[in-house]
Chains A and B, each alone.
Chain A
Amino acid sequence: MTLTLAIHSSKGGTGKTSIAVNLAVAFASAGKDTCLIDMDLRGPSLCSMFKPKTHFWINDFLSGKCNLKDTLTDSKKDIGTSGHLYLSFSNPDIGEIRDLVSKDRNWQAGALKALMNGKRELAEENIDVTILDTSPGVEYESINAVAASDMVIIVHNDTKACHDCTEQLIKGVYTLLDKRCAIIDNMYHGNCLDIKEKNRYGVPVLTTIPCMCDIATRSKNEILVHSDPEHLFSKSIMTIKDKIEAMQ
């Protein structure tokens, strides 16, 4: 069975994309056939890091113009993972993004149906793990991704606003959709060794990652979990992967 993870956060810039990409590479490196989908249709990221080899975007799939398979680029050889690493890109064209923002709820309803079908499509292909990177907050596409997932990974930073909004999201969205959740504390400024908290809002905290300039600068050219497995960030990603697997 395919495990589908939605990486979401209440606020922007908490490290969702960094964690989604590294987690996908970690799963693929461990031999899992993995699919990473850029569901951040409002602020595409994947196309800035990898090169698509197909002319279909995830946007086309959500609009019913192609199958999910048609949008996938296999990066297994480029990155050198043992499992397949399929990437589905979101269209960075500004006209496309303007168009998306003006889509109505009927389109979003169709997009959710498409995502559920896509999930079945990937299960038939025996994909082990699917990771959905999302836009922050209550955006249609993000909540669609949450609804299509088996588990929500909440990437959190240590601000009051993020805390308050996360609690709301857990109560008013994730729980209502019956989703299992887990929190990752990212960009933590205190001493990580002091952390004792295992649970917050009734949700397990998987790990705490410190704020390190190193992570931001090196991530421009590397996927740390691949290029430097001994890095603290990479080790945190492996912890996250192991804990998610243990929870299944």
Chain B
Amino acid sequence: MDSELLEQVVNNLKEINSKLDRLIVQIECRDETTSDKDKIAAYSLDVLTLLSLPDHLRTTATTLFEIGPATADEVANVTNKERAVESNYLNQLVRMNNVKKYREGRKVYFRINDSLKKK
């Protein structure tokens, strides 16, 4: 009886796990191929939003403004933090739609999200 219940719990957990995996893949794909329509909904990073960011994200975003499109490595070089830490911050900014992530060859670059096309 007990082992049956346990098996059911494990199976449910596995199912949740695979659902999460699928979701993550979906989100990552969406990040990489934002269509023009999505762009209109996306916020670009304006200075008052920048001011309202928590300290660690603001430093990362300001650095990206200063040096232009960059890899997590390049940002970490300026902020004197670990690459993994900056990569985490940059990905948070990507999820908040303030920063855009894209690939060039084997490298992953980040840049401040573009504003709307002007009329």
Q: Which residues of A contact B (CB under 8 A)?
A: 63-65, 105-110, 112-113, 116-117, 120, 140, 143-144, 147, 172-173, 176-178
Contacts and interface: CB of A to CB of B under 8 A. Distances in A.
Contacts, number: 67
Interface stretch (B18-26, B28-36, B41-49, B86-94): B41-49
A65 B50 CA distance: 25
Given A64-B118, A116-B65, A178-B62, A140 B47 contact: yes
A140 B58 contact: no
Contacts of A112: 45-47, 65
B47 A108 contact: yes
A110 B46 CA distance: 8
Contact of A113 (B48, B51, B112): B112
A147 B115 contact: no
B48 A140 contact: yes
B38 interface: no
Contacts of A120: 68
Contacts of A108: 46-48
Contacts of B47: 108-109, 112, 140, 143-144, 147
Interface string B58-72: 110010011010000
B116 interface: yes
Contacts of B58: 176
Nearest to A105: B46
A94 B65 CA distance: 31
Interface residues of B, number: 22
A143 B44 contact: no
7 contacts: A108-B47, A109-B46, A110-B44, A116-B65, A116-B66, A176-B51, A176-B55
A235 B36 CA distance: 56
Contacts of A172: 51
Contacts of B46: 105-106, 108-109, 112, 140
B16 to A, nearest CB: 38
B48 A143 contact: yes
Given A63-B118, A109-B112, A177-B50, 4 more contacts: A108-B46, A143-B47, A147-B50, A178-B59
A168 B110 CA distance: 33
Contacts of B66: 116
Nearest to B64: A116
